[in-house]
Structure 1
Amino acid sequence: MPDTAHRAPKPLRAAIIYDFDGTLARGNLQEHSFIPDLGIDHDVFWKDVKRLAKTSDADEILVYMQQMIERSRKLGKAVTRERLREHGATPSFFDGVESWFPRLDSFASDQGLDLDHYVVSSGTEEMIEGCSIYPHFKRVFASRFIYNEKGEAVWPAVAVNYTNKTQFLFRINKGIENVWDTQAINRWMRAEERPLPFERMIFIGDGDTDIPSMKMVTDQGGTAVAVLDPDRWNDPLKVSHIHLLIAEDRVNYVAPADYLPGSQLDVIVKGALQRIALRAGLPIAS
């Protein structure tokens, strides 16, 4: 019989789940080139989206996706998957983002953890696919389009807003890697049978659309970190918003969106990973 006495234990699975726009990259991906390519200022575009959402009593995410299609069509520029990927290829990442994933994977491995990275975002999935960091994600759950036989976007396939973001955390929790399967997401499953317990999740986000997800993760024993663009750290409105997130127990930690080694965020996330390992009875490595 094979000698299994000294076989190394299987790494314990953990995950970091990120919002994208404003969390990993500055601003919204659409603002860098897609909206300017429509010949409109991005502030005007978003104001129009809010106005249309209010007058139509509609979801803002569905409205912005409809406006992307409609405004492009009027200019004779069909929205295609390839075009969206091209517009998403050059985001303004926060410092350290592009080296963050292999560094965190290595650190987690030293703690006996097998670390996965997910995105749950109201932004455009096809644009995220065009980014250099896309291969690091096990799965991206974000807003995306349905395409016709010509490859042109005709309708939203998925619209991720602030309330339905939490369903994707349950999909990750239960090991469901698709959007369409409503039976699986609603099927009862014992907590100990779920592939990724909430207490082994770290959620990193920046905006109002992340608040329900942050609160749910913290209530279930996981860790939530709110990040803020370092250039806006002295913005009174942004800082006041951060104060409320702390006061209302929505998050565990707050840090500048600085992903460089030794940054405040780096220290917080590594500490959270070590806490996951300690709770599981694993020996932690320094």
Structure 2
Amino acid sequence: MTQRPILAIAYDFDGTLSPGSMQEHSFIPEIKESKEAFWERVNGEAARLKADNILIYMHEMVKAARKQGVRCRKEDIERHGARVGLFPGVAEGWFDRQRERGAAAGLEVQHFIISSGLKEMIAASAIGRHFTAIFASEFKYDANDVPEWAAAAVNYTNKTQFLFRINKGALDPGDHVAVNRYTPEDERPVPFRNMIYVGDGDTDVPCMRMVKEQGGVSIAVHPPADEALAAKTAQLKADRRVHFTAEADYCEGSALDAYMEAVIGKIAAVERLRALERG
């Protein structure tokens, strides 16, 4: 049986599938701090040390929990992940609907996350089971499952490496050989033309631009009824960094859903043409 071409849809998480940052939904309230104060401290410390914001926010999470006497083990981080809120329609059939559309058109749709947020929280969220792979920041834990170091930190400058991992089928972040091995374009499991990237802002620009320039499709979303962020995503389109912008409404029949349906149809048509041309 001939294997169906793979269509990969890669998503940012914070601000794309979920409103705000995942730490704001239950972790920051549990340490009895405002989100403004937490992020101001993170950004200030990163600026003072000229350090990576991702590494600093991970350290500040552990430090703040310890200071407030709040238990912070892997299971607690997963518990916070289960409480993360999502945009309309995300948990109500979005992922299955795109898979079904792809299957009907002769494609295998796979969903991926590329996020600066915490892998543990994303995996434990209501939608964690839908992803072929989650590329995100991650803690290293001691024998008691207490975070003791950052095992991985994903920032906007290194996000693009994961697009190449998807492209080459090298999904193990610890395998640096497979992702760097030369593989002819026509032998890669997911050509960039069969890739869709969905993000929301500045930290997604390198991925958006790369996917677009390599023949795939880039989409920028913004929270429903948020005029300021709508203007920001509109600028991304004006700057030709994305193909399409829409409210982060993942319900069936929304503008985003209609565009995704059309893109899946287009990619399926191109794959059918290529198959005919190969003979």
**Under a length normalisation based on structure 1, what TM-score does the superposition of the two structures give?**
0.92
> Is the Cα–Cα contact under 8 Å of residues 19 and 121 in structure 1 kept in the other structure?
yes
CA deviation map 1:121-144 (0-9, x unaligned): 011111111112111111100111
Letter paired with 1:184? A
> Contact 2:201/2:233 (CA < 8 Å) preserved in 1?
no
In the alignment, the residues of structure 2 paired with residue 72 and residue 191 of structure 1 have an alpha-carbon distance, to the nearest angstrom, of 47
- 1:130 is matched with which residue? 124
Q: Give 3-state SS (helix, strand or coil) of 2:60's partner.
A: helix
Say which of 248, 271, 278 aligns to 1:280: 271
Q: Does 1:79 align with 2:72?
A: yes
Greater mean deviation of Cα atoms: 104-113 or 71-80? 71-80
Residue 34 of structure 2 is matched in structure 1 by 41
> In structure 2, what is the equivalent of residue 151 of structure 1?
145
What is the deviation of 1:25? 1.2
Superposed CA offset, 1:141-177 (max 9, x none): 0111000111110111111100100001111111111
Q: Following the alignment from structure 1 to structure 2, what is the Cα–Cα distance between the partners of residues 152 and 231?
A: 40
Alpha-carbon distance in structure 2 between the residues aligned to 1:108 and 1:24? 20
2:248–2:256 contact (8 Å) kept in structure 1: yes
Distance apart, 1:91 and its partner CA: 2.0
Range with bigger deviation, 143-152 or 71-80: 71-80
AA of the residue aligned to 2:51? A
1:111/1:282 contact within 8 Å kept: no
What are the equivalent positions in structure 2 for 1:46-195 lying under 5 Å apart? Answer: 46-98=39-91, 99-195=93-189
Distance 1:65 1:107 in 2: 38
User: What corresponds to 2:249 in structure 1?
Assistant: 258
Does the residue aligned with 2:113 lie in a helix, a strand or coil? strand
Which moves more between the two structures, 136-145 or 92-101? 92-101
Q: What percentage of aligned pairs have identical amino acids?
A: 44
Q: CA separation in 2, counterparts of 1:230 and 1:109?
A: 30
The equivalent residue for 1:3 is: none
Task: State the shift of 1:109 in Å.
Answer: 0.5
Task: Give the RMSD, CA atoms, in angstroms.
Answer: 1.4
Judge conservation of contact 1:14–1:116 (CA < 8 Å) in 2.
yes
TM-score, scaled to structure 2: 0.94
- Structure 1, unmatched stretches of 5+, are 1-6
SS at match of 1:144: strand
Aligned residues: 273
Which letter does structure 2 place at the counterpart of 1:49?
V
Q: Which runs of 5+ in 2 are unaligned?
A: 275-279
Q: Is the 8 A contact 2:234 2:245 kept in 1?
A: no
CA–CA distance in structure 1, aligned partners of residues 186 and 269 of structure 2: 18
How far apart are 1:282 and its partner, in Å? 5.8
1:245 matched to which residue of 2?
236
Tell me the residue number matched to 2:277: none
SS at match of 2:151: strand
**DSSP 3-state at the match of 1:230:** coil
The CA distance in 1 between the partners of 2:78 and 2:194, in whole Å, is 32
Q: Which moved more, 1:180-189 or 1:209-218?
A: 180-189
Secondary structure at the residue paired with 2:8? strand
Q: 1:74 deviation in Å?
A: 2.1
User: 1:122–1:142: 8 Å Cα contact kept in structure 2?
Assistant: yes
**8 Å Cα contact 1:89/1:132 also seen in 2:** yes
